[in-house]
Amino acid sequence: MIKTNNIIKTVSTSEGQLQILQPISFTVAAGESVAIIGASGSGKSTLLGLLAGLDTVSSGEIFLDEQPLHNMDEEERAALRGAKVGFIFQSFMLVPSLTALENIMLPAEITGLANPKQAAQEVLEKVGLGHRGEHYPNQLSGGEQQRVAIARAFITKPKILFADEPTGNLDAENSKNVEELLFALNAEQGTTLVLVTHDNELAQKCQRQLTMTAGELVEISAHSEEASA
């Protein structure tokens, strides 16, 4: 589902070019769950943004469901994201002027999904917030907002879900609820799940862990029989 080949990311600074990602190569199978871990500043979120097509590589190749992401312009990447990708942010990224139901409907409307309101209500029920559809983000707790964000990401049944610190702003109880929800929907829809996290317990629930240090992929480990097969 994901294949990278020697991807590098450099940025311009006042002192010249800075390479923030060293050559990185790995693959992720369809339906697999993978955690990207490492200290702050190790390049985790940068890598996730490249994989999701939110940013572009300086060199190297990224294939998303066999599509050459590295050769696409912004319009083509946006179309690919709309068709195949869901994304969950640490800060929820809900539109404050829209209700929970309307936030969830957004990607469904953009992609032309039939009956977006009905689909949004159904996925809202799945995340346990069927009774909160008419509430605005500022009327919801952090855990509820993240569940709305998860529902929004899953409404189009994406082939790949990227999550950047999905439990980073939540307390222990809400973190556990969000974790359970992520993996339940992942299993139900067969979605490929790639997440960045500082939460070791969440990382260990994934089939594989990719460890980043100073822009390098230094270790790939598996912690389940399925992932090791």
Q: Are 150 and 189 in contact (CB under 8 A)?
A: no
Give this prediction's pTM.
0.87
pLDDT band for position 157 (50/70/90)?
A: confident
The residue ranges of every structural domain in the chain are: 30-57+71-221
Average pLDDT over residues 126-142: 92
Give the residue, 58 or 126, on which the prediction is more confident: 58
- pLDDT at position 226 is 43
Task: Copy the structure tokens of residue 82.
Answer: 């709309």
Run of H or E including 5: strand 2-13
- pLDDT at position 92 is 86
Question: In 3-state terms, what secondary structure has residue 92?
Answer: coil
The answer, yes or no, to whether residue 150 has pLDDT greater than 80, is yes
Cα–Cα separations (whole angstroms), residue 128 to 89, 92, 151, 168, 212: 19, 17, 10, 20, 35
Q: Are 19 and 28 in contact (CB under 8 A)?
A: no
Topology (CATH level 3) of domain 30-57+71-221: Rossmann fold (3.40.50)
Average pLDDT over residues 179-183: 85
Cα–Cα separations (whole angstroms), residue 79 to 34, 45, 114: 24, 22, 18
Give the C-alpha separation, 147 to 127, whole Å. 6
Give the C-alpha separation, 195 to 153, whole Å. 13
